[in-house]
Amino acid sequence: MPDFDSDASRRHLVPFDGNFSLADFPTSIDELPAKKVLKNELEDLVEELHDLQRVLYADGRYAVLAVFQAMDAAGKDSTIRKVFSGVNPAGFRVEAFGVPSERERKHDFLWRCARALPERGKIGIFNRSHYEECLVVRVKPELLEGQNLPHVDPATIWDERLESIRQWERHLARNGTVIVKFWLNVSMEEQKNRFLRRLDRADKHWKFSAKDLDDRARWPEYMHAYQEALRRTSRDFAPWYAIPADSKPYMRVAVARTMVNTLRRLDLSHPELSEDERRALTASRNRLVSPD
């Protein structure tokens, strides 16, 4: 059993010094714990996340932003669903980012993400994110043509975009948004198995799109884009975690553990009531218990 205690999700933490190498981050782990063990651990973590979210809300100083990026079929949707299944929907929102709309393309690339940020006390999930601008757009630079940019220098645009992201995230962090980013790292082989299952099972047909095979054909370009993005944007104020994704039960526990650890590290507390507030509560109590 991997030791997930305290800060052990650090084993998946992408270094902050720009030296991240895909080769050092596996898609599966040795000695996978039994499914039952992982299931029980996930249940405990889901419960703890629920409790932590309540304090996050009461504390009211921090917003939490969790970003999810992955190749198709890595399990983004189901991981989000399972890990946050215990969280109160009133304090939590998932935003999925697809191909930008015409309106979104009239703005800078961070605009639509800025509009979807969580407020203090809440958890926001980005299912895909501003990173697509340095992933899919980098792999298919023809997409830039639809963006009506006044000038594009292919030699510098990706570094500039990653710099913008870094600075934006630093700004958010300074202002109380706690950012944690997950790259669900699935292998090509496992993706193939999952695609085949989608094709073989009628109840999974809807999940399959022939377009997914085009992205699969560009795997090396995507991996290069991920490596560059993670190198340049994993920082202490907005860390990336490269989570092995070939085992979904393991991946979910690793994500849940990282979320719990991140929230535990905050100095969260229920706000102290002032004397006046205490007196007001006592007065309300007295009114309630006195005869109507």
Write out the residues near ligand ADP by the rule CB under 6 A.
72, 97-100, 128, 132-133, 136-137, 143
In the complex, least distance from residue 186 CB atom to ligand ADP, rounded to whole angstroms: 13
Nearer to ligand ADP, 72 or 190 (CB): 72
Nearer to ligand ADP, 62 or 126 (CB): 126
In the complex, least distance from residue 65 CB atom to ligand ADP, rounded to whole angstroms: 17
Short-list 133, 142, 60, 57, CA closest to 91: 57
CB 59 within 8 A of CB 268: yes
In the complex, least distance from residue 22 CB atom to ligand ADP, rounded to whole angstroms: 19
Specify which residues 95 forms β-bridges with.
126
In the complex, least distance from residue 126 CB atom to ligand ADP, rounded to whole angstroms: 10
Nearer to ligand ADP, 117 or 143 (CB): 143
Nearer to ligand ADP, 4 or 126 (CB): 126
In the complex, least distance from residue 96 CB atom to ligand ADP, rounded to whole angstroms: 6
Nearer to ligand ADP, 207 or 235 (CB): 207
Residue sitting closest to ligand ADP (CB): 132
